[in-house]
Amino acid sequence: MEYRKLGCLEVSLVGIGCNNFGWRTDATGAAAVVDAALDAGINFFDTADIYGAGQSEEFLGRALKGRRDQAIIATKFGMKLGEADGGADPSYIRKSIDGSLRRLQVDTIDLYQIHCPDPNTPIAETMEALNDALKAGKVREIGCSNFTVEQIRAARATPGSRHFASVQNEYSMMKRDAEEDVLPECARTHIAFLPYFPLANGLLTGKYRKGKPFPESSRGKDSFGPKVFTPENLKSVETLVAFAESRGHSLLELAFAWLAARPEISSIIAGAKTPDQVRENGQAASWKLMPNELAHVDRILR
């Protein structure tokens, strides 16, 4: 497993998205996923307080009991959780941190991320509260998610000793908006980029093929992310599959390798429901695409 820098942290190039925990995966299944990840050299686990209404953090903390030193834990706050209003004002941040620490059963969160911008709270107030958490030792690094480049710059312009070490936005071969400005900003300012939905809601796993029915209990079948499963994208998938197979690889491996080719990316966050999926994801990023191969893929996508 390759490891890359994220602020002061060293994270595995393949990470585990824990959004399935407490939703599609129970505590036993979550523990099996965590065990398989650690065995594969994956140390980065990304969750959020809203995943599974708090159960994702609980299941992750339980699964890592006694092995905290082997894991880098990232979680997020800001979206409405239960009766709370959400947001990023200082008082809510303080309550959210303590809630996540309790559910995760840890003393420190490695990466604490604002899940989405809060238009009702000045970013300077948010950054001050996050810096207080850093000084108190409750978090080691801070990050943001779903931020535009303008919002990233506004946060960076605020007073304070520490700024965002990472930004987590959607990015995959099928969703490339980040290339316009956020990824260049990350390269310029040395902020780590964490792509979520790297497999385009499962479209790039290879199990969705043109002219074939969607698998049962899949995101495509359940209409999760319906804008992804379009006839145009399914047609592109066929071409991408042909390209990958001509080089002895799968579409899944191509999706990871394509992202891994960007040095701005520190960890590719992919959800997994089973140990087998964890192992497949862990091995996928080992393919190193050559410049001519990247150019060929770009022509397919464009």
> Is pLDDT at 185 greater than 80 in this prediction?
yes
Average pLDDT on 108-112 reads 98
Question: pLDDT band at residue 166, thresholds of 50, 70 and 90?
Answer: very high
In terms of residue numbers, what domain contains 60? 3-202+252-288
Residue with the two structure tokens 């140390």: 43
Contacts of 210 (CB under 8 A, 6+ apart): 231, 234, 235, 237, 238
What number of other Cβ atoms are within 10 A of residue 4's Cβ? 17
Q: Of the given ranges (105-109, 130-134, 195-199, 203-207), which has the lowest mean pLDDT? A: 203-207
Task: Write down the mean pLDDT value for the chain.
Answer: 93
Q: Has residue 233 been placed in a domain? A: no
What pLDDT, on a 0 to 100 scale, did the predictor assign at position 157?
95
* For range 155-162, the mean pLDDT: 90
Q: Write down the residue that tokens 């145009």 correspond to.
A: 232
Specify if 181 maps to a domain: yes
CA distance 136 to 90: 14
Mean of pLDDT values over 45-71: 97
**pTM, to two decimals:** 0.92
User: Hey, what amino acid is at 212?
Assistant: K
CATH classification at residue 152: 3.20.20.100
List pLDDT tens digits, range 228-268.
Answer: 878 888 888 999 999 999 999 999 999 999 999 999 999 99
Q: How high is the pLDDT of residue 160? A: 79
Give the active site residue among 3, 51, 171, 196: 51
Q: Is residue 111 part of a domain?
A: yes
Q: What percent of the chain has pLDDT over 70?
A: 94
What is the count of structural domains for the chain? 1
In a domain, 148, yes or no: yes
Structural tokens at position 237: 């998938």
pLDDT of amino acid 231: 82
Whole-number Cα distances in Å, 228 to 93, 105, 182, 199, 236? 34, 37, 21, 10, 12
Per-residue pLDDT tens for 198-226? 999 889 988 876 666 666 555 544 555 55
Cite the DSSP H helix spans in the chain. 27-39, 55-63, 90-104, 123-135, 149-156, 182-189, 231-246, 251-260, 275-284, 291-301
51 in catalytic set: yes
* Nearest CA-CA partner of 194 in 125, 283, 262: 262
Q: Report yes or no on 142 lying in a domain.
A: yes
Position 227: which residue type? K
pLDDT value for 178: 97
Q: Are 139 and 167 in contact (CB under 8 A)?
A: no
Instruction: Decide if 51 contacts 75 (C-beta within 8 A).
Output: no
Confirm whether 245 is domain-assigned: no
Residues 100-108 have a mean pLDDT of: 98
Tell whether 296 is covered by a domain: no
What span, in angstroms and rounded, lies between the C-alpha atoms of 178 and 182? 5
CA nearest to 78, candidates 50, 101, 110: 50
- Say what the pLDDT of residue 207 is: 80
Instruction: Note whether residue 100 is domain-resident.
Output: yes
